[in-house]
């Protein structure tokens, strides 16, 4: 077991470079298997989710070279095999092999996916989409079986603009006969990144990034390259850290439009930033105004930044309200913030946070990935030492978090216990 040990209260200065996006790369790797030739990804973050997907690709007989953030995936000899349950359960994104294998082989057997325990997270929209494309779907024990004689383009409406369902349906539809329309599609930047890779492979997808996506089926997909977009959640996490502890802290390699909602909330709190050419410089202000934050689908305030943001709200003067609207269970970190001294009352998916309260170092747990990020932020601003347990959650999504923070002056280390 590993823990993070954080000695709080140190000012942060220097530069943090943002890595490629976890939630893009976890779909780009499965998307690559739809190609019959080599696919090259640049700016690939080395996080445990990436490694788990590479294990799946190797198991399916794909060949991978991965060095210095460049990944070459040769899928010319891909075989359709059942991925063991422990591997599928390691992460949520193993479910992208449903769409990818179904699209390529018209048959897929996949165990239920894993991922953060932040709500019930059904995948009914994915399943409905596959069925509309002509697949027969059955459940056998802990696994789904998808079968289709052929896949045919269809009109698919999503009851909710789900990121995973939008991507999975694109993967299954890209080689279907005829044209597929996804209405009320998710508009997150990751969707555009995946559609761009598929188009570079020869697909005909238009409308990605809007709520209406059109996919004209093609027969063959080939060689392609793509840059993984910068991780907007990592960028947002470090920007929040900068708002709390930054002294001319530079966050580089960002796309401003992708974190617009966060930047506008920080400005509302009185945080000043200089934004210039894909980077920002941030300083901690003398005090923060309290605000309300409600998570929404893109371009609204990202659900994945809600937990990190709630730590900042403990330092604002007065009452702030943090409301989570995407998942049922994104308040796992609150009891640990309370243990550290925060004044927070939770009512279902809403947290009422009254500040400003100093936080003190304590032993806490990362109950999920972004709860873990929240614990790191809390530890960085607390008086004394914070010990974070179950850091595997954090390492699934933040590349070199210890090195990145140490380089700018934080006192943080991993301890093997």
Which residues does the annotation mark as catalytic? 116
Measured CA to CA, the distance from residue 87 to residue 114 in angstroms comes to 9
Residue 122 or 141 with smaller CB distance to ligand EPU: 122
Which tokens belong to 200? 């570079």
The contact pattern for ligand EPU, residues 195-224, with x = CB under 6 A and - = no contact, is ------------------------------
Question: CB of residue 287 vs ligand EPU: minimum separation in angstroms?
Answer: 30
Long-range contact pairs involving 199-205 (C-beta distance under 8 Å, separation at least 24): 200/224, 200/225, 200/226, 201/34, 201/35, 201/39, 203/174, 205/170, 205/174
For the CB of residue 267, give the shortest distance to ligand EPU in the complex, in Å: 23
Q: State how far the Cα of 387 lies from the Cα of 244, in Å rounded to an integer.
A: 19
The secondary structure element, H or E, covering residue 194 is helix 189-200
Alpha-carbon distance of 417 to 397, in angstroms, equals 22
Compare residues 180 and 290 and give the one whose CB is closer to ligand EPU. Answer: 180
Residue 163 interacting with ligand EPU (CB under 6 A): yes
Our CB check for ligand EPU shows the closer of 295 and 320 to be: 295
- Going by C-alpha positions, the residue among 264, 261, 196 that lies closest to residue 27 is 196
Contact 245, 272 (CB under 8 A): no
Stretch that binds ligand EPU, among 118-126, 132-140, 146-154, 283-291 (CB under 6 A): 118-126
Q: Which of 122, 140, 403, 416 binds ligand EPU (CB under 6 A)?
A: 122
Among residues 225, 137, 216, the alpha carbon closest in space to that of 177 is found at: 216
- Return the number of the residue (272 or 328) whose C-beta is nearest ligand EPU: 328
Per CB under 6 A, 326 contacts ligand EPU: yes
Q: CB of 277: closest distance to ligand EPU in angstroms? A: 27
Residues 7-46 that bind ligand EPU (CB under 6 A): 23, 26
Number of other CB atoms surrounding residue 354 within 10 Å: 17
Segment near ligand EPU (CB under 6 A); pick from 71-79, 122-130, 215-223, 339-347:
122-130
Q: Tell me the window of 69-77, 117-125, 206-214, 338-346 that interacts with ligand EPU (CB under 6 A).
A: 117-125
Short-list 226, 281, 275, 285, CA closest to 255 = 275
Tell me which of 18, 34, 56, 123 binds ligand EPU, using CB under 6 A: 123
How many other C-beta atoms lie within 10 A of the C-beta of residue 363? 12
Residue placing its CB nearer to ligand EPU in the complex, 157 or 160: 160
Segment near ligand EPU (CB under 6 A), from 158-166, 210-218, 241-249, 261-269? Answer: 158-166
356: which residues sit within 8 A by CB, 6+ positions away? 287, 288, 314, 315, 316, 317
Cβ nearer to ligand EPU, comparing 33 with 249: 33
Q: Judged by CB, which is closer to ligand EPU: 362, or 390? A: 390
| 410 makes contact with ligand EPU (CB under 6 A) | no
Given 370, 375, 376, 395, the residue binding ligand EPU (CB under 6 A): 370
Find out whether 255 and 229 touch, Cβ atoms under 8 Å.
yes
CA 212 distance to own-chain centroid: 22
In the list 304, 324, 362, 390, the residue contacting ligand EPU (rule: CB under 6 A) is: 304
Contact pick of 8, 32, 39, 92 for ligand EPU (by CB under 6 A): 92
Contact 400, 377 (CB under 8 A): no
Residue number of the CB atom closest to ligand EPU: 164
Number of residues that bind ligand EPU (CB under 6 A): 26
The DSSP secondary structure of 69-84, one letter per residue, reads TEEEEE-TT----PPP
Report the residue from 124, 136, 177, 257 that binds ligand EPU according to the rule CB under 6 A: 124
Name the one residue in this structure whose structure tokens are 């506008």. Answer: 264
Q: What does DSSP say about strands 155-157 and 179-183: parallel, antiparallel, or unpaired?
A: parallel
Residues that bind ligand EPU (CB under 6 A): 23, 26, 92-93, 116, 119, 121-126, 160, 162-165, 186, 188, 303-304, 326-327, 369-370, 397
């Amino acid at each position: 077991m590993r823990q993070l040990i954080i000695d709080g209260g140190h000012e942060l200065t220097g530069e943090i470079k943002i890595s490629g996006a976890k939630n893009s790369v976890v779909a780009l790797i499965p998307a690559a298997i739809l190609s019959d030739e080599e696919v090259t990804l640049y700016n690939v973050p080395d996080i445990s989710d990436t490694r788990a997907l590479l294990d799946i690709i190797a198991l399916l007989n794909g060949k991978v070279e991965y060095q210095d953030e460049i990944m070459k995936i040769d899928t010319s000899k891909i075989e359709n095999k059942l991925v063991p349950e422990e591997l599928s359960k390691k992460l949520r994104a193993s479910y992208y092999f449903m769409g990818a294998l179904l699209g390529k082989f018209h048959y897929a057997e996949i165990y239920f996916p894993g991922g953060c325990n932040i709500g019930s997270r059904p995948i009914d929209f994915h399943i409905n989409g596959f069925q509309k494309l002509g697949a027969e779907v059955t459940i056998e024990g802990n696994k789904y079986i998808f079968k289709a004689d052929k896949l045919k383009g269809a009109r698919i409406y999503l009851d909710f603009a789900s990121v995973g369902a939008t991507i999975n349906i694109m993967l299954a539809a890209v080689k279907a006969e005829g044209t597929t329309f996804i209405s009320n599609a998710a508009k997150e930047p990751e969707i555009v990144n995946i559609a761009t890779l598929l188009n570079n492979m020869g697909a005909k997808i238009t409308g990605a990034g809007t709520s209406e996506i059109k996919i004209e089926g093609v027969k063959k997909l080939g060689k392609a390259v793509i840059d993984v977009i910068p991780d907007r959640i990592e960028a947002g996490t470090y920007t929040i850290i900068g708002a709390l502890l930054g002294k001319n802290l530079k966050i580089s390699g960002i796309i401003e439009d992708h974190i617009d909602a966060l930047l506008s909330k920080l400005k509302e709190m009185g945080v000043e930033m200089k934004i210039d050419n894909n980077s920002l410089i941030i300083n901690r202000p003398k005090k923060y105004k309290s605000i309300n934050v409600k998570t929404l689908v893109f371009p609204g305030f990202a659900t994945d930044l809600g937990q990190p943001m709630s730590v900042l709200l403990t330092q604002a003067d007065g009452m702030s309200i943090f409301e989570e609207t995407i998942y049922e269970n994104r308040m796992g970190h609150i009891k640990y913030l309370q243990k550290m001294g925060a004044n927070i009352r939770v009512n279902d998916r809403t947290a009422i946070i009254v500040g400003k309260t100093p936080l003190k170092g304590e032993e806490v747990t990362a109950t999920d990935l972004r709860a873990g990020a929240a614990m790191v932020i809390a530890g960085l601003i607390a008086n004394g030492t914070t010990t974070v347990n179950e850091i595997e959650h954090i390492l699934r999504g933040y590349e070199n978090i210890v090195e990145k923070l140490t380089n700018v002056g934080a006192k943080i280390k991993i301890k093997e216990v």
